[in-house]
Amino acid sequence: MKQSFYDLNYPDLEAVISQNNLNPSVAAILFNWHYKKKESIQCRDNISKSSLAFFEQYFDFSLPEINLVHESSKDRTVKFLFKLKDNHKVETVLIPFNNKYSICLSSQVGCAMNCSFCFTGEQGLKRNLATSEIVGQFLQAWRWLASNRPGEERILNIVFMGQGEPLHNFDAVKKACEIFLSQRGTSIGVQKITISTAGYIPGLKRWSQETPGVNLALSLHSPFTEKRNELIPINKKYPLAEVLTYIDAIPLQKKQFITYEYILIKGFNDSPDDAKKLGALLAGKRAYINLIPFNPFPGSRYESPDLDEVENFKAVLDEFRIPTLIRGTKGDDVLAACGQLNSKN
């Protein structure tokens, strides 16, 4: 099988070119064509016939196939179902803000974390995604915007909050980030990429050495051990206190924060006591809290909180002077909101 072109970061591509004695300028031309112009057809200008023939012979330029597109009727959220070469499917969501978008990428087919509030977890882990399948979600969504909402093909933020645990597929996610960040590639700013983790310590251990400065989000969900164990079973193996020691050691740039995500579940973790304990845990840290009202899915065992409880919870956190955002639910009419992604069917 041919190797995917989209598995190569820029230094990889340069290495291929020099090993095969091709003209070094081909690297810049190919990256420009595929990642800046994002064209689907091969670039035939400025590139010799022999170089072109080489890449056509040894590299695959196809992208994950768009199997279904759901457009929300409430907002401009778009959910894509992608079909991969082995017929596995993953979902990707475009979340609108003004006339721009954030993209929520999947990192695995299914997920091994088995969190009790998450629809994806019910699928179990099928396999990791390759870098090309991660980058491919972005390129296909961009092209879809260019043809369906011309003028709006601006994807300014990338969040790894779709299916999968990104730190459990560290190498492929890291390389995808390198391509996104590359000035030769899509050239997305380092502050515009966020990787969200359930607290997978083997990945956190590699984070500070190897991840090129992108933002980190931790799915915290409860400061209490018992409750967090129920919500995020890997908390038994990788307890929150230990997770936080790794996160606290990550060097942050000026104005950079760690985002702590907190799902609010009615009658479970939405009381003022929960908020106080959370506030005490995070006070003094470079923290930003994202409160996410639980999004129900078919067969889910939890309920969404009342709006009053959400407001009260935030008011407690305000007393600790921790910046807190209540995340609105976008795209929930097409099951595109957080935790509603499940591509089994």
Q: Which residues are catalytic?
A: 91, 338
What span, in angstroms and rounded, lies between the C-alpha atoms of 94 and 101? 6
- Of the two residues 179 and 335, which places its CB atom closer to ligand SAH in the complex? 335
In the complex, least distance from residue 95 CB atom to ligand SAH, rounded to whole angstroms: 12
Secondary structure E strands in the chain: 3-4, 59-60, 65-71, 78-83, 89-97, 100-104, 108-110, 125-128, 155-160, 193-197, 215-219, 258-264, 287-293, 324-326
What span, in angstroms and rounded, lies between the C-alpha atoms of 141 and 95? 11
Closest listed residue to residue 135, CA positions, set 25, 38, 261, 232: 38
- Of the two residues 9 and 295, which places its CB atom closer to ligand SAH in the complex? 295
| CA distance from start to end of the chain | 27
In the complex, least distance from residue 241 CB atom to ligand SAH, rounded to whole angstroms: 18
In the complex, least distance from residue 153 CB atom to ligand SAH, rounded to whole angstroms: 25
The separation between CA 19 and the C-alpha centre of its own chain, rounded to angstroms, equals 33
143-181 burial: b if 16+ Cβ within 10 Å, else e = bbbeeebeebbebebbbbbbbbbbbbbbebbbbbbbbbb
CB atoms within 10 A of CB 40: 13
Question: Can you give the binding site for ligand SAH, defined by CB under 6 A?
Answer: 113, 117-118, 161, 165, 196-198, 219, 261, 263, 292, 294-295, 338-339
- Of the two residues 30 and 161, which places its CB atom closer to ligand SAH in the complex? 161
Counts of helices then strands in the chain (DSSP H, E)? 10, 14
Closest residue to ligand SAH, judged by C-beta, is: 339
Read off φ and ψ for residue 188, nearest 5 degrees.
Answer: -90, 140
Closest listed residue to residue 207, CA positions, set 254, 236, 246: 246
CB atoms within 10 A of CB 335: 19
- Of the two residues 4 and 77, which places its CB atom closer to ligand SAH in the complex? 77
In the complex, least distance from residue 146 CB atom to ligand SAH, rounded to whole angstroms: 27
The separation between CA 130 and the C-alpha centre of its own chain, rounded to angstroms, equals 14
- Of the two residues 7 and 91, which places its CB atom closer to ligand SAH in the complex? 91
- Of the two residues 130 and 198, which places its CB atom closer to ligand SAH in the complex? 198
In the complex, least distance from residue 290 CB atom to ligand SAH, rounded to whole angstroms: 8
In the complex, least distance from residue 175 CB atom to ligand SAH, rounded to whole angstroms: 18
